């Protein structure tokens, strides 16, 4: 039986056990009119494609799970931690301390080594949609 939209949103990612992309998008869409600060941190696994090709997908999945554990630890105060897709993991912080918390999480993630991660943080600009903020963050992480 096909899952209904609400079930898809609530479902966690099967590899990392982080929230799903649907849950992330629902969370961000629900904050359209929120006045408090919103900051995001994204990380991706350096060399995941090579790990999958050389050691197999089970090794790649194990690497993703370790990355998810690192993000959970670095973003313990996040409102939501999710797998965006592929090797991109994201945490969202809200409130007056959100920018500092996201920057601290990005720094912590980038400094670790097992697995190596690229990470960056941004603060939502006024009027910025959830799609544009994720696109902007993705571009920054890819440049780091």
Smallest CA-to-CA distance from 103 within 129, 77, 82, 126 is with 77
| Per-residue pLDDT at 10 | 57
Q: Assess if residue 7 is contained within a domain.
A: no
| Per-residue pLDDT at 42 | 97
Q: Assess if residue 9 is contained within a domain.
A: no
Q: Assess if residue 85 is contained within a domain.
A: yes
Q: Assess if residue 2 is contained within a domain.
A: no
Confidence of residue 137 (pLDDT cuts 50, 70, 90): very high
Structure tokens at 113: 């080594």
How many domains does the chain contain in total? 1
Confidence of residue 9 (pLDDT cuts 50, 70, 90): low
Q: Assess if residue 21 is contained within a domain.
A: yes
- The contacts found for 71-80 with CB under 8 angstroms, 24 or more apart, are 71/18, 71/41, 71/43, 71/105, 71/109, 72/18, 74/41, 74/104, 74/105, 74/108, 74/109, 75/41, 75/101, 75/102, 75/105, 77/101, 78/41, 78/105, 79/27, 80/19, 80/23, 80/24, 80/27
* Interval 50-85: pLDDT, tens: 999 999 999 999 999 999 999 999 999 999 999 999
* Interval 25-40: pLDDT, tens: 889 888 877 778 999 9
Q: Assess if residue 115 is contained within a domain.
A: yes
* Interval 77-96: pLDDT, tens: 999 999 999 999 999 999 99
- CATH number of 47's domain: 3.30.70.270
The domain of 68 spans 15-143
């Amino acid at each position: 039986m096909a899952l209904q939209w609400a079930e898809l949103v609530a479902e966690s990612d099967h590899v990392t056990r982080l929230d799903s992309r649907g849950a992330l998008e629902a969370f961000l869409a629900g904050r359209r009119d929120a006045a408090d600060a919103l900051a995001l941190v994204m990380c991706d696994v350096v060399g995941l494609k090579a790990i999958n090709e050389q050691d197999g997908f089970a090794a790649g999945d194990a690497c993703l799970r370790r990355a998810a554990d690192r993000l959970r630890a670095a973003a313990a105060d996040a409102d939501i931690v999710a797998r965006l897709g592929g090797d991109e993991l994201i945490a969202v912080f809200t409130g007056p301390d959100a920018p500092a918390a996201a920057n601290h999480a990005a720094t912590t993630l980038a400094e670790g080594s097992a697995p190596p991660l690229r990470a960056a943080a941004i603060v939502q600009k006024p009027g910025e949609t959830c799609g544009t903020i994720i696109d902007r963050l993705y571009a920054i992480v890819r440049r780091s």
